[in-house]
Amino acid sequence: MTASRRTQRLSANAAGIAAAADLLRAGRLVALPTETVYGLAADASDDRAVASIYAAKERPSFNPLISHLPDLDAARRQGLFDAPALALARAFWPGPLTLVVPASGGCTVCGLARAGLDSVALRVPSHPVAHAVLQAAGRPIAAPSANRSGRVSPTRAEHVLADLDGRIDAVLDAGPTAVGVESSIVACLGGAPRLLRPGGVPRAALEAAIGQPLAIVADGGAAPIAPGLLASHYAPRAAVRLDAEAPGPGEAWLGFGPEPHDGVLPALAVNLSPTGDLTEAAANLFAALRRLDDRGPATIAVAPIPMRGLGEAINDRLRRAAAPR
Ligand code: TXA
Ligand code: MG
């Protein structure tokens, strides 16, 4: 909001955690580490605090936000869990899963954070620093990824500061995040659960927990139920060319797996995982895109990424990065 605010850098120790919780209780903005990406956190029950998230991010205001809680009991005070929602929460919380459920009668997540919807998006993160802050804050904490709208999601405190320095009150620095892609989002709103966003929990694991296949809600459909899933959400400045067999002249290269070793790689090249490990690739994805994009190439060519495991989430992010804008 105000570009003149000084952004404090807090360490991930008891004093830093207490300071972050105090700022959140006072309606201020703090970037917090989670196991997926850094989140731009504010008191989810305070519309003004939530408004300042949208302002700092310059995010389209129709996007509902995820509210973070320290445990399932706290989440069940905010939302109504049917049998599949409970099964998923018990299997994957704390962890990189968000559940969209009907808001409870006593839900304290404000209307702005819910974008006026009757449902609420809830997540219990597993990062110990996030957990400690949530416990100390004692209220639901809204946190979209801590980047400016349309930029890649931050997996390090430095990425947060590159986008938001001077626009937020503090960043709590706990080093690089482990998962590297956002949480999977599953809507449990009666009827069959639907996968709104592939993410840190592979689809097969989600389906195993509920004993049925998940319907996938395609983004950009006629009646999008996750309006935040804009086609251009993950957008580097460079154009992105997917499923490239090799870089073309002048293109930067984002590789995956063993590279052809005949000298074709350009100077500007990053490999997501030379051994072809999809978990390593997910953890590296946003930092790699950012590293290439910061050097200003016109186009980033991207090697094919298999669709198994976290590959589905990686390909989802890459398709967004490549979407025309
Ligand atoms: O890993 C993550 O999920 C990260 C970390 C910080 O927790 N957070 C994150 O939040 O990615 P955000 O705000 O960037 O993503 C929220 C997504 C949006 O696509 C939004 O449209 C969807 O969740 N969403 C939120 N509430 C919803 C609702 N009630 N119905 C449908 N979709 C909803
Ligand atoms: Mg985001």
Instruction: Please report which ligand is nearest the Cα atom of 177.
Output: 1
Residues of the chain with CATH 3.40.50.11030: 239-322
Q: Is the CB of 188 under 6 A from ligand 1?
A: no
Quickly state the pLDDT bin for 325 (edges 50, 70, 90).
low
For residues 69 and 142, what is the distance between their CA atoms, to the nearest angstrom?
9
Q: Is the CB of 322 under 6 A from ligand 1?
A: no
Among all chains, which residue has been given the structure tokens 């605010």?
5
Secondary structure of residue 97 in the 3-state scheme: strand
Q: Is the CB of 281 under 6 A from ligand 1?
A: no
Positive or negative, the Cα torsion across 308, 311, 316, 322?
Answer: negative
- Determine what percent of the chain is predicted with pLDDT higher than 90: 67
Residues of the chain with CATH 3.90.870.10: 8-216
Q: Look at residue 305 in the predicted model and tell me its pLDDT.
A: 96
Mean pLDDT for the chain overall: 89
Q: Look at residue 313 in the predicted model and tell me its pLDDT.
A: 73
The model's pTM: 0.83
What is the per-residue pLDDT across 234-254, written as a single tens digit (0 to 9) for each? 478 899 999 999 999 999 999
197-222 in b/e form (b: 16+ CB < 10 A) is bbbbbbbeebeebbeeebeebebeee
- According to CATH, what is the number of the domain 8-216? 3.90.870.10
Q: Look at residue 218 in the predicted model and tell me its pLDDT.
A: 56
For residues 98 and 199, what is the distance between their CA atoms, to the nearest angstrom?
9
Quickly state the pLDDT bin for 230 (edges 50, 70, 90).
very low
Give yes or no for a contact between 47 and 111, defined as CB atoms under 8 angstroms apart.
yes
Q: Is the CB of 315 under 6 A from ligand 1?
A: no
Domain 239-322 falls in which CATH fold? Rossmann fold (3.40.50)
Q: What angle do CA 289, 182, 86 make, to 5 degrees?
A: 165
* Residue 186 one-letter amino acid: V
Cα(86) to ligand 1 centroid in Å equals 19
Does residue 170 surpass a pLDDT of 90? yes
In whole angstroms, what separates CA 206 from the centre of its chain?
18
Quickly state the pLDDT bin for 221 (edges 50, 70, 90).
very low
Quickly state the pLDDT bin for 60 (edges 50, 70, 90).
low
What residues have their beta carbon closer than 5 A to ion ligand 2?
145
Paired tokens of 153:
């999601």
What is the per-residue pLDDT across 33-45, written as a single tens digit (0 to 9) for each? 999 999 999 999 9
Secondary structure of residue 39 in the 3-state scheme: strand
Quickly state the pLDDT bin for 166 (edges 50, 70, 90).
very high
For residues 92-121, average pLDDT:
92
Paired tokens of 44:
């989810």
Give yes or no for a contact between 79 and 122, defined as CB atoms under 8 angstroms apart.
yes
Does residue 55 surpass a pLDDT of 60? yes
- Other Cβ atoms less than 10 A from the Cβ of 293: the count is 19
Quickly state the pLDDT bin for 5 (edges 50, 70, 90).
confident
Which run of H or of E encompasses 301? Answer: strand 299-302
Q: Is the CB of 227 under 6 A from ligand 1?
A: yes
In order, the DSSP letters of 99-143 are EEEEBPTT--S-HHHHTT-SEEEEE----HHHHHHHHHH-S-EE-
**Most distant CA pair in the chain: distance in Å?**
63
Residues in the chain: 325
Which run of H or of E encompasses 88? Answer: helix 83-92
Which run of H or of E encompasses 98? Answer: strand 97-102
Q: Which of 269, 287, 55 is nearest to 158 (CA)?
A: 287
For residues 66-70, average pLDDT:
98
Give yes or no for a contact between 321 and 230, defined as CB atoms under 8 angstroms apart.
no
Q: Look at residue 216 in the predicted model and tell me its pLDDT.
A: 79
Out of 65, 80, 219, mutate this one to test ligand 1's pocket (max ligand atoms within 8 Å of CB): namely 65
For residues 67 and 39, what is the distance between their CA atoms, to the nearest angstrom?
11
- Other Cβ atoms less than 10 A from the Cβ of 9: the count is 14
Q: Is the CB of 119 under 6 A from ligand 1?
A: yes
For residues 106-115, average pLDDT:
88
Q: Which of 112, 141, 144 is nearest to 36 (CA)?
A: 144
For residues 42-57, average pLDDT:
88
Does residue 59 surpass a pLDDT of 70? no
Does residue 162 surpass a pLDDT of 90? yes
Which atom of ligand 1 is closest in space to residue 120's alpha carbon?
29
